[in-house]
Chain A
């Protein structure tokens, strides 16, 4: 069982470039989310989705776009990368509407913007 799969594991971008971080889960989870981890800041929620066709903003959504066309996939798009977006990005999923269902995380994408 693969769980939550994130690609790529590492990525280096130049300022202004665009890219998409991929996230796929095979657990049929309705809820999916993206977090970024920065030193001293913990994990901060970027965007989340409670099902296909439904997305909403988290704590730090600026500079990022998401879409949810299928239950399995939840890509995160950087339209014009900035050095402030250098971070480790984690995708996570869980059963929606289940109050005590924990999040399952992928292993992260380490992004460097120069």
Chain B
């Protein structure tokens, strides 16, 4: 049972345009969401996060939007750069001592020069 889903395995955008990556979740207990970026042969690295008490968090070119009623979050990258080409994972957790992080299946973003 996939609690965190990324339905688009891949996305291709032109340099300078907006990239929008989507993520859906099923567990209403999730209250903290993160995005990770992964280059080949490297481990994932943290990109941006959002708490369920917010609906938007921005960090430079990266903005994450959360729609709790739809159980949906998205990552916007503006403007997209070739160096942004990577696999993007969304992840979710709910509070508690263990605070386990559950990941989605990932979306491969290709930014064309």
**Which residues of A are in contact with B by a Cβ distance under 8 Å?**
4, 31, 33, 35, 40-45, 48, 50, 56, 58-59, 90, 92, 96-97, 99-100, 102-108
Contacts and interface: CB of A to CB of B under 8 A. Distances in A.
Interface stretch (B11-19, B58-66, B74-82, B103-111): B103-111
B49 A108 contact: no
B89 A42 contact: yes
Interface string B29-68: 0001010100001111110010100000000000000000
B104 A42 contact: yes
Give the residue among A35, A43, A100, A106 with the most B Cβ atoms within 10 A. Answer: A43
A90 B100 contact: no
B27 to A, nearest CB: 13
A41 B105 contact: yes
A82 to B, nearest CB: 23
Contact of A103 (B41, B101, B105, B106): B101
Interface of B: 4, 6, 9, 32, 34, 36, 41-46, 49, 51, 89, 91, 95, 97-106
B49 A105 contact: no
B43 A42 contact: no
Contacts of A40: 9, 105
A42 B103 contact: yes
B43 A45 contact: no
Contact of B89 (A33, A43, A100, A107): A43
B103 A102 contact: no
Nearest to A91: B43
A78 B89 CA distance: 26
